[in-house]
């Protein structure tokens, strides 16, 4: 099983006598009322989804994430996890314990203040969201909170109230998804992040990935999203229907991610990947305009940003690995021919730049992956779909047919 980000899965959930102690203490300490998005962050910190964080981030880590996309300890991190306090800033003191409540006055956590600090919101917005325009929903949330923050470790006492009608069975903590993966015998797991219903290109992509891993975690965000996004309960019905009718339940798992969307595009793709690592996933599907909004990001900016952080080489190596895995699944004569071509290609590519190498291997991975793509439906009484050779089959109703895919054309213009 892959290690959590930083090596240890954080657990900041107060239980038993400790929970009772903190509940009693909360009656006699300063209280802060939080927006729902920060209540969601409390849960994400406490259950270990934001590991290695044990609380809201301080100034040094925040500035390091903003400027260099990593924490001060060198671990990759795309967007700082911040707690703005607005007008309460001057009344709070370092070392003080405070209660964090939701907008209905319900106790969520007790936090110890380690630091009070300010950040340049214009710089934060430009670096993390690519704009300072307040019509960007992520920037609007940052500006609404103000530039005065506190940081420090917290202990969660109660989880945020679930406002949407989503079955509790889908709210699964990282420790529990990891246990489920071990129970199923999965060592390699691909995560699919979404805030929309899954369309046919998404389905195709997930099934291609399932051909080289043990299982897939379909992991939609159900926290705060834009008002014009499709409501989470509606989306959940879509996911349930799709998994029941078009995926193999034996290697597909559905659970939800109760965090807010930041709409930070490439930067959010980094955080989304690290979160899924904490949930036990070894691979992540990064889609076209991942976590994007409007026209703030290019369609493949969320791909390119991984070249700027240490995992970029891992993604490159994964593409090379995908090519070789696909080749090894070919019939013997085709495999020999493909190996000769790849060997010739490898020699011819020696003078090329690093960027050219990545482009070539990506295209090969896509083309060979398409040649091994599974069908949309599962044959009656069969656990897995037979490989489909797209170029040799005519389109039939109810079956996934090939798309002309390359790095610059990966299906409909739909944001994951």
Q: What three-state secondary structure class fits 384?
A: coil
Domains (range + CATH), the chain: 16-156 (3.10.400.10), 167-416 (3.40.50.620)
Query: Bridge-partner residues for 192, per DSSP?
Result: 218, 285
pLDDT tens digit at each of 416 positions of the chain:
999 999 999 999 999 999 999 999 999 999 999 999 999 999 999 999 999 999 999 999 999 999 999 999 999 999 999 999 999 999 999 999 999 999 999 999 999 999 999 999 999 999 999 999 999 999 999 999 999 999 999 999 999 999 888 999 999 999 999 999 999 999 999 999 999 999 888 898 899 889 889 999 999 999 999 888 899 999 999 999 999 999 999 999 999 999 999 999 999 999 999 999 999 999 999 888 999 999 999 999 998 898 887 554 444 445 555 565 566 666 777 777 777 777 777 777 667 665 566 566 666 665 555 555 443 333 333 333 333 333 323 333 333 222 223 333 333 334 45
Catalytic residue among 11, 147, 196, 248: 196
What pTM value is reported for the model?
0.78
DSSP letter at 303? H
**For the chain, what percentages of helix, strand and coil (3-state, to nearest 5) are there?**
40, 15, 45
Beta carbons of 335 and 346 less than 8 angstroms apart: no
What pLDDT, on a 0 to 100 scale, did the predictor assign at position 84? 98
Q: Where are the beta strands (DSSP E) in 260-362?
A: 283-285
The packing angle between helices 121-129 and 59-68, to 10°, is 40
Rounded Cα distance, 202 and 193, in Å: 10
Token pair belonging to 193: 């992040």
Beta bridge partners of 97: 112
Phi, psi of 370 (to 5 degrees): -65, -35
Where residue 341 falls (left for φ over 0; alpha for ψ -120 to 50; beta otherwise) is alpha
- Best CA proximity match to 361, nearest among 307, 411, 320: 320
Marked catalytic residue, from 159, 195, 262, 267: 195
> Is 408 annotated in the active site?
no
Q: At what angle do helices 121-129 and 266-278 cross, to 10 degrees?
A: 80
Cα four-point dihedral sign 202, 204, 207, 209: negative
Q: Is 195 a catalytic residue?
A: yes
Residues 6+ apart with CB under 8 A from 381: none
User: Tell me, what's the pLDDT at 404?
Assistant: 27
In 3-state terms, what secondary structure has residue 413? coil
Length of the chain (residues): 416
Report the 10 Å Cβ neighbour count for 95. 8
Tell me the pairing of strands 148-156 and 83-84.
antiparallel
Per-position DSSP letters for 179-243, written without gaps between them? HHHHHHT-S-EEEEEESS---HHHHHHHHHHHTTSSEEEEEEB-SS--TTSPPHHHHHHHHHHHH
């Amino acid at each position: 099983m892959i290690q959590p980000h930083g090596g240890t899965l954080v657990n900041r959930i107060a239980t038993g006598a400790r929970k009772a102690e903190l509940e009693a203490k909360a009656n006699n300490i300063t209280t802060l009322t939080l927006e729902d998005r920060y209540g969601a962050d409390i849960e994400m910190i406490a259950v270990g989804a934001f590991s290695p964080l044990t609380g809201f981030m301080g100034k040094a880590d925040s500035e390091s994430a903003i400027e260099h996309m990593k924490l001060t300890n060198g671990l990759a991190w795309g967007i700082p996890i911040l707690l703005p306090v607005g007008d309460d800033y001057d009344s709070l003191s370092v070392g003080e314990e405070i209660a964090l409540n939701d907008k209905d006055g319900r106790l969520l956590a007790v936090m110890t203040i380690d630091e009070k600090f300010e950040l340049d919101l214009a710089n934060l917005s430009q670096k993390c969201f690519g704009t300072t325009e307040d019509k960007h929903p992520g920037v609007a949330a940052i500006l609404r909170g103000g530039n005065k923050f506190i940081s420090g470790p917290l202990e969660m006492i109660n989880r945020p109230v679930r406002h949407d009608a989503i079955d509790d069975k889908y709210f699964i903590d990282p420790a529990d998804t990891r246990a489920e993966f071990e129970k199923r015998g999965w060592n390699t797991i691909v995560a699919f992040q979404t805030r929309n219903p899954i369309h046919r290109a998404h389905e195709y992509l997930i099934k291609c990935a399932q051909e080289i891993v043990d299982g897939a975690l379909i992991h939609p965000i159900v926290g705060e999203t834009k008002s014009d996004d499709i409501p989470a309960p509606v989306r959940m019905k879509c996911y349930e229907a799709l998994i029941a009718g078009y995926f193999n339940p034996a290697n597909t798992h559905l659970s939800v991610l109760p965090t807010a969307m930041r709409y930070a595009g490439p930067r959010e793709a980094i955080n989304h990947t690290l979160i899924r690592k904490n949930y036990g996933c070894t691979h992540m599907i990064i889609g076209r305009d991942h976590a994007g909004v409007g026209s703030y990001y290019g369609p493949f900016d969320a791909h390119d940003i991984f070249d700027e952080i240490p995992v970029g080489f891992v993604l490159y190596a994964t593409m090379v690995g995908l090519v070789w895995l696909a080749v090894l699944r070919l019939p013997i004569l085709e495999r020999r021919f493909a190996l000769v071509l790849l060997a010739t290609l490898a020699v011819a590519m020696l003078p090329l730049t690093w960027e050219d190498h990545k482009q070539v291997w990506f295209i090969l991975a896509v083309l060979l992956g398409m040649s091994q793509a599974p069908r949309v439906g599962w044959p009656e009484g069969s656990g897995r779909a037979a490989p489909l050779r797209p170029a040799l089959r005519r389109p039939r109703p109810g079956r996934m047919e090939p798309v002309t895919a390359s790095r610059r054309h990966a299906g409909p213009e739909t944001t994951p």
